[in-house]
Chain A
Amino acid sequence: MSDIPTDLNYASSHEWVSVEGDTAIIGISDHAQEELTELVFIELPEIGLKLTAGDPCAVVESVKTASDIYAPVSGQVIETNDALDTEPGTVNEDPYGDGWFFKVRLTDSSELGDLLSPEDYAMQIDM
């Protein structure tokens, strides 16, 4: 049974978004890390990169495959979780906390309205 915190919003591509003012923190959901299984490598976007919602912006690699992570909202990357360089498994252990990927400065906060609520995300992953 996947964990879906109620204080976050979600993209249908399984990223979560936490908003603090004009900054959004982004990671991947518990369902996503379960499906991917143990991660062995994570490629994060460069700081300063300008992202448009829907852009592939990061890559996660499990033992078997590489998967793209998509920007759930538009913004400029202002910080990345470099601890994931040495401990990619943190994403599996704590996808909503220490397993965060990167932060953006939002360029269009109206996009937050396009994200899925926890209930809608739960329905999408069919819980």
Chain B
Amino acid sequence: MSRPESRPDRPAVTDLERRYARWTALFYPADYRRERGSELVDTYLSLAEPGRRRPSPADIADLAAGGLRRHLRTAPGVTAGFRLAGLLALTTAAAFASAWAVLEVMAPMKFWSRYTGPFMSLGMAAWAVWLLAAVVHLVAPGRWYRRAAVIAVLVTAAVVPAGMLTGLFRPPLIVLVPQLVLGIVALGADAGRRWWVRLAPLAAAASTVPVTVVTEARLDFYGDYYLPAVEALPAVGVTLLIGATLLALGFAARHDLRGAWALLFLLTPIGMLTLNPLGAMLDSGPGRPQVPVWSSMAAAAMLVAVVGPVLLTLALAAQGRRSTGGRPLPTHCPTCGAPSNSA
């Protein structure tokens, strides 16, 4: 942003104005800043109480949130990619919820002496809410679905502290963490008015039930989460990676970047689904154990939690610098700010 303080017909730029301009430059895409930066700073200055010299933390948070929203809107295909990633994540999360719910019900029937209630663990609450979210996605998409998905994410996150408080059995972190991350991406699911697309998560959940029952019967039935999780999660993660990559290539052939953005949004949940093999790769030395040690799993999770969002942020930042946002950009005089081309 320019600093026209030397002009005699323009008041001196104050510290506060300069600071708002810096924060705006930090958070907003370059093209949007050129178009709206001056206007945005003017509004913040109009709202600032007399004597203020620095932007308040609330203003900085507002600038950060507004800038992020603008980045998401500016880059072509980001919003559509987020919705596509959300739909794929919800479909995967609903299928897992269905499979784990079957396990929750069948385990106490088979291993009745090990469990005291009708379900195996506290995880049943999370799976029930995710299946409910899949139903809401079909019958009431939009606002109601987002509310249901937020509740499902919160219930999933609450399973661990609830287990600690009550002392009841809960699913392992290797199951809960991928579900939580899939759930966060699933918040973006928005299939619009096409009912057959909205049906996908529920259909995936329903078709998982017989597959789970048959598979578990053939394998002499698992008595807890860990073994099926170690086998199923990486397989689903790789399937999701291949599927998302094929979608990205298919859309890219039509000069549509939504698939590529969807793949970037899905990288973190895909990484979390493959924590077990990633953790095993981090285990060092000969005689590598089949089950990675806790520290290797934690390191793998940290790596995935950092690399996925960083790649996405870098892609958004690069796109923000390249994009012109599709709008005519009025150019303003660098010294007085007067528009030379009306919007």
Q: Decide if A and B are genuine partners.
A: no
